[in-house]
Amino acid sequence: MSNCSKRLAPSRGFPHHGAFLSRRIVLHSLLFAAGASHGTHAKDYPFITVASTTSLEQSGLLGYLLPVFTQTRGIDVLVAAVGTGQALAIGERGECDVVLVHDKARELQFMHDGFGSVRRVVMHNDFVLVGPKFDPAGIAATHDAVVALRKIAAAKARFVSRGDMSGTDIEEQRLWAEAGIHPIAAHDLWYVQTGSSMEQTLTTAASTNAYALTDRSTWVQFRDRRGLEIVVDHDARLFNQYAVMLVNSARHPTVKADLGMAFIEWLTSRQGQNTIAGYKVGGEQLFFPDYVEP
């Protein structure tokens, strides 16, 4: 491990719970700007830990957004990029300072249970159903995700699910429930669960000519599409909103409440919201700012 990585190692041990530190998003511009010596310790440089969704990492947004925050506020950021369920669990244990996820029901429960002290809506994008170009279930251009899932189940066309309690996984389960269908991987051979990230789930779908639900931003960045394409989108049910929450320091005294709040304030400031809106891939805007001053 490099000296810089050692200096930025978090003071709380969440990686052994299944989270991983995304080294691509460990920001140490402040260290270099200050000309830090090899003997400098992490306590000399302010940093926070953020438990966030894999979609925000794999879409490239965090790699674009966080350097601007660090340059502006002088606070480095360590990210544990995991599914929403895992991110919330990390926050519940007080092993991060901020949680950035996309599942409103579980976010509100997190706040209700006293694990969070501040919650703000930040931005949105949407989910899309992708599948093989030859579309064995005949769902292309229906613009109705529930009807599409019914057709997939009726055709027993292969469907690959994350199955990891992430925000995307929970959205998929809600859609299946609305369709009146409850596929079980161990019973329905056409239904496969990866228990993994969105990118890895898409890779599995591409290699097996299967359907999958994904957020659009990860899809745009996904390169190994093979025969996959978007088959259903622009359904109001597929709205996908992200919120940021400060972990409650009254419950977990090790939480860096001031630094975490500085991140939240910046993320919902005009500069933060404009930076989110400015992130594009191939000229396509992937996230749309949502914060409204109360």
CB 278 within 8 A of CB 52: no
Q: List strand residue ranges (DSSP E) for 56-167, in order.
A: 76-82, 98-101, 116-132, 159-161
CA dist 258 → 48, 97, 247, 272 (Å): 10, 10, 11, 18
d(CA 265, CA 278): 18
- Please give the pLDDT value at position 278: 98
- Please give the pLDDT value at position 24: 37
- Please give the pLDDT value at position 28: 35
Q: Which two tokens stand for residue 11?
A: 């003071």
Domain 3-125+240-289 has CATH 3.40.50.20: no
d(CA 153, CA 184): 11
- Please give the pLDDT value at position 11: 36
How far the first Cα of the chain sits from its last, in Å, is 44
Q: Which amino acid is at 203?
A: T
3-state secondary structure of 94: coil
- Please give the pLDDT value at position 119: 98
Q: Which two tokens stand for residue 292?
A: 């409204």
CATH code given to domain 126-238: 3.40.190.10
* Phi/psi of residue 123, nearest 5 degrees: -165, 175
Q: List strand residue ranges (DSSP E) for 216-253, in order.
A: 228-232, 239-247
CB 193 within 8 A of CB 185: yes
d(CA 135, CA 261): 47
Render pLDDT for 79-132 as a digit per residue (tens, 0 to 9): 999 999 999 999 999 999 999 999 999 999 999 999 999 999 999 999 999 999
- Please give the pLDDT value at position 43: 56
Parse the chain into domains and list their residue ranges: 3-125+240-289, 126-238
pTM for this model (two decimals): 0.85
- Please give the pLDDT value at position 44: 67
Q: Which residues of the chain have pLDDT under 70?
A: 1-44
| Strand-pair partners of 244 | 100, 120
- Give the number of other CB atoms < 10 A from CB of residue 27: 21
Fold agreement (3-125+240-289, 126-238): yes
d(CA 30, CA 154): 55
Sequence-ordered list of residues with C-beta below 8 angstroms from that of 219, at least 6 positions apart, any chain: 128, 130, 202, 230
